[in-house]
Amino acid sequence: MTPAPGPARSVLAEISGRAASTLTPEGRLADLGMDSLGRLTLAVLLEERTGRPLSDEALLKVRTVGDLERLLEPMRHPA
Amino acid sequence: MNTPLSRQLVSDPDAPMIVASAEVAAGAVVGARTRIWHQAQVDADVRLGADCVLGKGVHISSAAVIGDKVKIQNGCGVYGAVLEDGVLLAPGVRLLEDPAPRSVTPDGHLKGRDDWRREPVTVRYGATIGANAVIVPGVTVGRFAMVAVGTVVGHDVPDHGLVMGNPARQVGWACQCGHRLDDILTCPSCGRRYLRRPHGLSAAP
């Protein structure tokens, strides 16, 4: 059974209109059609879903699906 | 060179163009070749640079200082701001300056000219403020920053920063030519490259 996608892939899938199962860690957000408005939507949806703020500075460094998953990892497994 | 309106010569090819329905106070300083269109209002203590364009219904007051080649489009309100050269304010932009706005003082009197503290906005060289954006008092918008349509900006924007939303969030970087930079800070339109600096981005040498 395939595990449920994490918040990064599920939100990216929702915004890009692609199936979460087709998203790879190496996939670039720009190749998913994420423009500036998409980036804003991403930030807002992720904060709503995770209940945690995400800094603009951290999100600006995100280029790939994997980058976003790593950014959110401490939220899923708090120390 | 800026020339007080009272000393302008109609025959001067560099004289500002001010349409009859505009209200430009006699004490205002208006730079060469600046054009001021219908129903615009410019207060006496305002300084406007050369080659500017003020659209219909623009209101500029409270000792605002405007550089050269600045475009302020229809219906903008510029209250005390400092706009460096090459700034664009799209239609309906509001630059505010009173951080504690009230009509009356705590003892109930109508506030006068000296009953409030000015915290004007600064918009640095070449920046663009999108239509109907609101910039709150005291904010500095960096060089060549791009503020998207309808944004409410409550914090400083770095040089070349691209911000949008309410409250504003930085979602990328903008090139000098106006296009959004890609992941490696290169413009897909003109090819300019940029480097990260403490205050935002600078053009790569």
Flag whether A1 is in a domain: no
B180 lies within 8 A of chain A by CB: yes
Average of per-residue pLDDT across A29-57: 95
- Give the Cα separation of B147 and B160 in Å (integer): 10
Flag whether B44 is in a domain: yes
Flag whether B190 is in a domain: yes
**Number of domains, chain A:** 1
Burial class (CB in 10 A: 0-12, 13-18, 19+), B181: buried
Judged against a pLDDT cut of 90, whether residue A26 lies above it is answered with yes
The domain spanning residue B17 has which CATH number?
2.160.10.10
- Give the Cα separation of B19 and A9 in Å (integer): 57
All residues of chain B having their beta carbon less than 8 Å from the beta carbon of residue A36 are 148, 162, 164, 171-172, 180
Please tell me whether the peptide bond between B167 and the residue prior to it is cis, using omega within 30 degrees of 0: yes
Whether A56 and B170 lie within 8 Å, measured CB to CB: yes
**Number of domains, chain B:** 1
Element (H, E) at B48: strand B47-48
Closest-CA residue to A11 (of A75, A68, A74, A70): A68
- Give the Cα separation of B43 and B5 in Å (integer): 12
Residue B126's pLDDT is what?
98
Which structural domain, as residue segments, surrounds residue A67? 7-74
Residue B48's pLDDT is what?
98
Our measurement of the distance from residue B12's CA atom to the centroid of its chain's CA atoms, rounded to an integer in Å, reads 27
* pLDDT tens-digit readout, B23-80: 999 999 999 999 999 999 999 999 999 999 999 999 999 999 999 999 999 999 999 9
B148 lies within 8 A of chain A by CB: yes
pLDDT band at A77 (very low <50, low <70, confident <90, very high): low
- B201 and B158 Cβ atoms separated by less than 8 Å: yes
The domain spanning residue A26 has which CATH number?
1.10.1200.10
Residue B114's pLDDT is what?
87
Which structural domain, as residue segments, surrounds residue B60? 1-98+117-205
Judged against a pLDDT cut of 90, whether residue A49 lies above it is answered with yes
Residue B70's pLDDT is what?
98
Judged against a pLDDT cut of 70, whether residue A73 lies above it is answered with yes
Taking chain A, what is the end-to-end CA distance rounded to the nearest angstrom? Answer: 28
Flag whether A79 is in a domain: no
Flag whether B84 is in a domain: yes
- B151 and B163 Cβ atoms separated by less than 8 Å: yes
pLDDT band at A75 (very low <50, low <70, confident <90, very high): low
* pLDDT tens-digit readout, B110-161: 999 889 899 999 999 999 999 999 999 999 999 999 999 999 999 999 999 9
All residues of chain A having their beta carbon less than 8 Å from the beta carbon of residue B153 are none
Average of per-residue pLDDT across B99-117: 93
HSE-up (13 A, CA, CB side) for residue A75: 17
Chosen from A28, A60, A61, A64 to mutate, greatest number of chain B CBs within 10 A: A60
All residues of chain B having their beta carbon less than 8 Å from the beta carbon of residue A37 are 164, 171
Flag whether B72 is in a domain: yes
Flag whether B179 is in a domain: yes
* pLDDT tens-digit readout, B55-66: 999 999 999 999
Judged against a pLDDT cut of 60, whether residue B2 lies above it is answered with no
- Give the Cα separation of B91 and A70 in Å (integer): 41
CA angle B66, B71, B77 (to 5 degrees): 70
Q: What torsion do the CA atoms of B71, B77, B83, B85 make, to the nearest 10 degrees?
A: 10
Residue A4's pLDDT is what?
78
Search chain B and give the residue with CA nearest A57: B170
Query: Which tokens sit at B189?
Result: 């339109």
